[in-house]
Amino acid sequence: MKARRELYDTEYALANFGGMAGTIDVEGRLNDLYELQKKHAKLSRKLRKLEGTISKDRNLQLESVKNYGELLDVALWEIEEYGLDTFASFPVFTGTDHPRENLEKGAGFIRKVSEKHKVWSQIPYLDMNLETKDEIVYDPKEKFEIFFKPLIASGLLKNMVMKNGWEAARGCRTELEYAKENNLNILYEVRDVYGNLRIQKDLKPYSHLDGLKNN
């Protein structure tokens, strides 16, 4: 989302603004800092308002869904209405007895991917988060066929980003399969040789030496 990227850019600029030591034009420097802080505050308000609007509109529609077909309609509406183009895939039930822990990690992953992409979040669409969850009998196979498969095949999404650890989750593997069938651009979160997580186009651990190979 553009608003989020602008906010992150401003936060980076503030973090690297530096002190006043050695500055000849102190007044001008202070004015630059003031303008940067003002811009940051404005962007923060803009982003909160935008995300609040999306959440409110979406949640109003989700309150009444009774089946996966209706759930799909809301998701497609949100993606098209707000120009979202990226699906962030992450494990929900795999590797934990407490799915909420995975959802917290998934939310962090979505925020990370959102720095460069316009991400649709599946979290509000998970059965456990639906107001009408007691009226929908959860069936993984049915949900993937009726909801996730046509969502990914809709032509509205351009990218699929796989969270580190996706290989162990059947749902993630299925989402990746759908993405490949529909020619989405696939990106992976990979731990590099230094232990840092990076998002890249292949699964090979990255090393700074890779950039020297063609020199």
Q: Judge residue 196's burial from the number of C-beta atoms within 10 Å of its C-beta, 0-12 exposed, 13-18 middle, 19 or more buried.
A: exposed
Say whether pLDDT at 215 is over 70: no
What are residue 27's phi and psi, to 5 degrees?
-60, -45
Q: Judge residue 28's burial from the number of C-beta atoms within 10 Å of its C-beta, 0-12 exposed, 13-18 middle, 19 or more buried.
A: exposed
CATH of 65-212, one of 3.40.50, 3.30.2450, 3.10.350, 2.40.128: 3.40.50
**What is the three-state SS of 81-129?**
HCCCCEEEECCCCCCCCCHHHHHHHHHHHHHHHCCCCCEECCHHHCHHH
Rg of the chain, C-alpha, whole Å: 21
Tens digits of residue pLDDT in 65-124: 889 999 999 999 999 988 899 999 999 988 777 788 889 999 999 999 988 899 999 999
Average of per-residue pLDDT across 150-166:
97
pTM of the model: 0.70
Say whether pLDDT at 173 is over 80: yes
Q: Where are the domains of the chain?
A: 1-62, 65-212
- Distance, CA of 105 to CA of 197 (rounded, Å): 13
Give the residue from 74, 33, 34 showing the smallest Cα distance to 54. 74
- Distance, CA of 161 to CA of 109 (rounded, Å): 10
Written as six digits, the tokens of 212 are: 């020297």
> Residue 104 CB: number of other CB atoms within 10 A?
12
Say whether pLDDT at 143 is over 70: yes
pLDDT score of 8: 52
Angle at 157 between CA 77 and CA 205, to 5 degrees: 140
CA within 13 Å, CB half, 151: 32
Say whether pLDDT at 167 is over 80: yes
pLDDT confidence tier of residue 153, bands split at 50, 70 and 90: very high
Higher-pLDDT residue of 199, 27: 199
Say whether pLDDT at 50 is over 80: no
Give the residue from 122, 95, 128 showing the smallest Cα distance to 106. 122
Average of per-residue pLDDT across 146-159:
97
201 contact partners, CB below 8 Å, separation of at least 6 = 186, 187, 188
